[in-house]
Structure 1
Amino acid sequence: MKRSAYIRLLLAAALAAGESLAKDVPVSRPQAAGRTYGQNYKDMVLAWCVATAYPGSTAASDAGSSVSALRDWTYYDMEGAGKAIQELVDRYLARDYFNLLAEAEVPGLKFQFLKCLDLYHSKELQEQVNRYVLKPRRTYRQDYSPKR
């Protein structure tokens, strides 16, 4: 075998091997236990906002279930935060994001999801993390995984 053919064969084999190693491993469980309590709080508030924005929908049911699951992986003051979360969500969803061009195409468009994204990235939500999340940089996995 010529040297150039041998090199091409090795290169093809290396690329094929790398390709098989690079495939994503399917994830079959939520990843929240590895995220910080602060991040999970923000994710929970985003899900809360979506659930509130689309009442009675499948999206609301799924987002509401996600809120419940995220509570398990978030270490925060539940009593103090509950009312504050609802007030913040209500305030953001009450915003008027009117867009004349979009209204002409889709009458009654409210941009609810965009409002939830703006809430997610807001200074007010970060202030809630600072106020209500007890260990914002820790993770559930750090606190509750068995020591090896």
Structure 2
Amino acid sequence: MKSTIGRNCLILLLGFLSLGAIGGGASLIISPNGSLIGMPLFLLKKSPFHDFLIPGIVLFLLLGVAPFVLVFALIRKPASEFVEKLNCYDDMHWAWTFSIYTAFILIAWIQLEMMFLQAVSWLHTFYMSLAIAILFVALLPAVRSLYQKSS
């Protein structure tokens, strides 16, 4: 029972991240000048980017589409030789490992965003907390046991 509650919580956290990142990333891809979501280009003055297109694509794919795929992979546990090659935990299903990767990607994303913007907002704190929550839930023994490969 505890394991399915933990798993469902992990799925909800990743789903929430995915929806927000798909929406935000798509907005930045559609409107690279940031006008669609009210982000002025001067925010990028200390970054290597001239507009929001590349950050939008990265946000959309890594923190939007990838967690969306993970939601289904955590439910169905499909086998995949390709992604298994990127799994650094041989005893765990790749979907669980990629949940951990996603949390670290989100942490790196927020850190880079704060560095480039040279500012911290409540959204940075919120998404950093979300990354920590994803890590915490994924590392719960009951959740780990669901994704442990049988020997």
The normalised TM-score by structure 2 is 0.29
Higher helix share: 2
Structure 1 or 2, whichever has the larger Rg, is 1
Q: Which has the higher contact order (CA 8 A, sep 6+)?
A: 1
The normalised TM-score by structure 1 is 0.29
